[in-house]
Amino acid sequence: MRRLIDPQSSSPLILLVAPYSFDSSSIWFSPGRTNKLSQVEQLLSSLSFKLLRCNTCPTAIEPSVLQHIQLCTSKTPVYRIVQIIYHTIHSLLPLCLNCKSFAIWQYNPRLSESLLSCLLLSIFPESNFYLQLEDLPNARTSNSGFRGFLDSLCLNVLLRRATYVFAVSPTVAQSLSKLIPHYKVPVFPLPPSLPTCYLEIINSRREPFTSSCYTIVYAGGYDKEKGVEDLISAFLRKSNNSYILKLAGPVPQSLIESYSNIPSIQIVGYVSLQQLYSLYSTADILVSPHHVRDTSSFIFPFKLIEYIASGALVLSTPMPGLSDFSFPEQCIFNSPDELFTLLQDAPLIWFRHRLTLQQLSADLRHNYSFETIRFSLLDVLSDL
């Protein structure tokens, strides 16, 4: 096996194979994916690797510090695949032939990215290949059905060739072992990190429930499975008028039209990361109403890590992964009715579990810091 760290090269090359999209108005855009890819790039750059983005998304990206290759422009699935294969052969292959040492780092086992990796690995069988698993096939409605079948097929093929697999959480790693029990690839955790600027902001936050008006915040996606309608219905039932609900992220126009005339519901919309972190730091309550499905253990709700680390009171559905932390049972709900009750009793719940939540917040700020995760990744790659 070719060593990733070539002694004759001071900057080994890693091909980052992923769908890059930075346009928040595009259907290809994913805030979570964008943030995690950015963090991976920071981690690998800090370890002195040279990076090349191999973009499988048809949306072109603006030039940046990192070089990139645009592998497709068509939004039609068949044409996209043809273009990816063509540009892999005509653009990436010559580059790899002239490179002393390179490795492939693929984000999730989707078909488009897997075709590129499999093609290069068939030509360069000694190259190292790293598979980053953020979620497993069929984890979400958007990647289930026939797409989920194709992704499952790709995952089976890639596991036979992977040098290492980096799973976003122990829960996802355990689900992988149940889904495909016979693979022998080493699996290491690679969770998202909490940005330093976020840690600085929340270190100086005020304690929740110390003002006359209590702020509830939801930030994330608005697909039906996210459960935002459950949150809104529970919020509208409350009798206490000292609450404000703020909705951040790509809020659909239908929600804006339905609730824009209600003063206690504020549509924040899509904001910068700095603004989002400030929003967390001023929240008294952060709610994660995500619907739990049979495949929920295939994903890692990192939003909960951000929420809990904020130092606010967090109310959540029983998402897999919560059991890894000392999260109070009283903060978990299963229905809008239960959420309504928790919102009504929120100040009491906070004062009852304040010490536990504050200690958990401090632990997560350390365990999910950039330096902690960087040290863990360095420990793995140092053996190559």
**Predicted confidence (pLDDT) per residue in 353-373, tens digit:** 999 999 999 999 998 898 898
- The answer to whether the beta carbons of residues 59 and 28 sit under 8 Å apart is yes
- Which range is least confidently modeled, 105-114, 275-284, 367-376? 367-376
Q: Which residues of 280-318 are buried (b: 16+ CB within 10 A; e: fewer)?
A: bbbbbbbbbbbeeeebbbbbbbbbbbbbbbbbbbbbbbe
13-193+370-381 carries CATH number 3.40.50.2000: yes
Band (39; pLDDT cuts 50, 70, 90): confident
What are the φ and ψ backbone dihedral angles of 378, each rounded to 5 degrees? -60, -40
For residue 5, what pLDDT is reported? Answer: 36
* Range(s) of the chain covered by CATH 3.40.50.2000: 13-193+370-381, 196-367
pLDDT level of residue 142 (50, 70, 90 thresholds) = low
Q: Would you put residue 62 in left (φ > 0), alpha (ψ -120 to 50) or beta?
A: beta
Q: Is the pLDDT of residue 8 over 90?
A: no
Please tell me which of 24-33, 39-48, 85-94 the model is most confident about, judged by mean pLDDT.
85-94
> Is it the case that residue 128 has pLDDT exceeding 80?
yes
In sequence order, what are the residues at sequence separation of 6 or more whose Cβ sits closer than 8 angstroms to the Cβ of residue 77? none
Q: Are residues 289 and 227 in contact, defined by beta-carbon separation less than 8 angstroms? A: yes
**Cα distances (Å, whole numbers) of residue 302 to 33, 87, 149, 260, 322:** 11, 34, 25, 29, 10
Q: Could you read off the pLDDT of 212-238 as tens digits, one per residue? A: 899 999 998 888 888 999 999 999 987
**Quick one: average pLDDT of 237-249?**
87
How many CA atoms lie less than 13 Å away from 279 in the CB half-sphere? Answer: 25
CATH architecture label of 196-367: 3-Layer(aba) Sandwich (3.40)
Q: What's the rounded mean pLDDT across residues 260-267?
A: 91
Which pLDDT tens digit goes with each residue over 186-216?
Answer: 889 888 888 889 999 998 899 999 998 999 9
- The mean pLDDT value for 247-255 works out to 91
- Per-residue pLDDT of 166-185, as tens digits, reads 988 877 888 888 888 887 88
Alpha helices by DSSP H, the chain: 31-46, 77-87, 93-97, 111-123, 146-159, 170-179, 196-203, 228-237, 253-259, 273-282, 302-309, 336-344, 346-367, 370-381
Confidence of residue 51 (pLDDT cuts 50, 70, 90): very high
